[in-house]
Amino acid sequence: MFSLDAAYIYDIETFPNCFTLACEALNSDEKAVWEISDYRDDRKYLTQWFNWLHAAQIPMIGFNNLGFDYPVIHEFWMNPNASVTQLYDKAMTIINSFGRGNHQVWADKRLTPQIDLYKMYHFDNKAKSTSLKWLQINMRSETVVDMPVPNGTQLSLEQVDHYLKPYNVHDVTRTKDFTKHSMTALEFRASLVEEFGVDVMNWNDTKIGEQKVINKLGKDLCYDYSSGRRQTRQTPRTHINLKDVIFPYIQFEQPEFNRVLNYLKSQTLTHDEYDEKKIIKTKGVFKDLVANVGGIGFHFGVGGIHGSVERKSFKAGNGWIIEDIDVASLYPSVAIANRLSPAHLGEPFVNVYSELPRERKEWQKKLGKKCVQANALKLASNGVYGKSNSAFSPFYDPQFTMTITINGQLMLCMLAEQLIKVPTLQLIQINTDGITYTMREEYRDQAVAIWRWWEQYTGLVLEDVLYSEMYIRDVNSYIAVGTDGSVKLKGAYWTPDPLNYHKSISEQQPPAWHKNLSNAVSARAAVLYMTQGVDVETYIKSCMNPYDFMIGLKVTKADNIMLGEQEIQRTSRYYVAKGGQPLTVQRPPTGKPGAPKKNSKVSEQEYLEVMNQNGWQWDERVCTKNKSVHSTRVTAKHVGYLVNECNDVRSFDFSKVDYDFYIAEASKLIV
């Protein structure tokens, strides 16, 4: 089994005249910083450390180290006499390259195993993109530190000793903190190394699930080796006629649902004419596709269906119940019940995929619901569905994907259509894989009979939960209190458990580290007011945890955060405070600074021709009538309030907290 016991956390910094590498042992306080610069040369000792790591094959853990840090130190490993200039040039080549992946070193060429938390958490996915600085905010680090000197600076000895090295050490310590929060995920991957026969330590959850099924199917079914090179077997599509993927047993009584059904059957999905990968596009097909039935709007989309009442609360009792019914593993179950498969994988895929839920239940019976074996099988079921729409996967068949997602939505609509026939039943929400409603208790048997009919009709299985209270802001944000006293929080109401903060984040599935967890005190105050009647002002003013008042803000490298007239770091933490400064974000002009803006009815080519002719002066033929010009765009944050920067929590001052802001924010969440 892959061992993490002796692992080291590390990070590098590169400047034109200085290279540093800081490290710290995962399971002890042992740490070191090495420097190669105009002032010192620790290459002898750094080489000795690398040789020791290599001989013992001790893992090195970093953050985005596969994409940046390791390729640079590999350059040094291969050329121990490399100058600081050569190391800096290597770093700049990586940073300036279009795809940093081009510089990655394959696992069998590395001096020792590399574990990249950035890759493992899939932070390289645009939707989950997360920096180490943002993690420092979400981990509630005492300090959030950005690079104290501009990149590319020729550093003085004082800058190396007092700014660069402390910053390098700080980042390693924070990466170690994040590693400690990630041990369950790391140990899970370590347990799979022997099973998969390859290094899986840097794989995200979806890739693990994909590989689990590939192993069960056999690589010969998933890949073609006849040409001497491995070719991924796939079923790309030039078009998908949705009428051919909608199950024949999908039928409705409601005119609104029939309108949507007929519309979908008339649609054909295609790819862009010039798209070499021929990725099927759904843009526009689901735009504003809504059916108004049972008092809510059913919004159809690529990712699933959703709809909800808004800003309403519900309480069970006096003969009323609140019930939530979910389809167990909706998308995998649709595939299994209807024996669907990517076309090139056929019946063997159906047989393997159908075994996953049964095998998962067996592991849960033996070792408990949260055992790693059951988790791996859950990843396999969900991961395969997700990968079926990836042009890089052996499961790629976009028709398989669309068959599942469209029919899953329509089947839930069939269930809702029958449920609204039950006397007194009122729909509260429909969201991806389930329906929530309230009704008189005496009619529950009638509703249950409809579930059973639907389960038999579709081959899917429903799971139900009873709530005592529910507070809905919108489909994405709600509170549901179970009859057993458990509290389910979604969206704007979710905050990590204040008594077990880090564990409650790291155990989220998927992990919540990439989210914005700002202003926890207002969200908690709103939840406690609605569920327990706790006074909002009393709760907020009695909160003694400074982190609960913190707000995080991050901008791109092109933008600036301004606190009054002072620029602060691009990933910053602050709190709303009396006597503070106004907070703004400055963004560069979208065009040539000071130049008149283009009339929207004019082409870019025509605009440039005229402007180049007249020396970039306003011209009524191509410019806006109001004579607006391109200038720095300024966006004010928390208008009417002032803030104090708090990247060092020791600067927090309860006497300066503007409690009115936090009370007002909590009030916005109360329904």
**Spatial contact of 36 and 109, defined as CB atoms under 8 Å apart:** no
Pick from 267, 386, 382, 288: nearest CA to 333: 382
Q: If DSSP states are collapsed to H, E and C, what string results for 367-380? A: HCCCCHHHHHHHHH
CA–CA distances in Å: residue 55 to residues 51, 112, 186, 610: 6, 8, 23, 67
Residue 373's pLDDT is 78
Q: In angstroms, rounded to a whole number, what is the distance separating the alpha carbons of residues 209 and 329? A: 14
DSSP 515-549: S----HHHHHHHHHHHHH---HHHHHHH---GGGG
**CB distance 541 to 661 below 8 Å:** no
147-178 pLDDT, tens digit each: 989 999 999 999 999 999 999 999 999 999 99
Amino acid at 651: S
**Residue 85 burial (CB count, 10 A):** 11
Between CA 525 and CA 663 the distance in angstroms is 8
Tell me which residues of the chain have a pLDDT lower than 50.
none
What is the pLDDT, as a whole number, of residue 571?
96
19 by DSSP, 3-state: which? strand
Can you point out the beta strands (E) in 339-461? 426-431, 434-440
| DSSP 3-state of 52 | helix
Q: Which DSSP helix (H) or strand (E) runs through 633?
A: strand 633-637
Q: Work out whether the CA dihedral 66, 69, 75, 80 comes out positive or negative.
A: negative
Query: What are 581's strand-pairing partners?
Result: 643
DSSP 255-290: HHHHHHHHHHHT-EEEB-TT-TT--B--TTTSTT-E
- E strands in 191-267: 223-224, 231-232, 239-241
Q: 160: which DSSP letter?
A: I
Question: What pLDDT was estimated at residue 501?
Answer: 77
Domains in the chain, CATH or no CATH each: 8-202 (3.30.420), 239-342+388-485 (3.90.1600.10), 551-658 (no CATH)
Chain segment 61-97, per-residue pLDDT in tens: 999 999 999 999 999 999 999 999 999 999 999 998 8
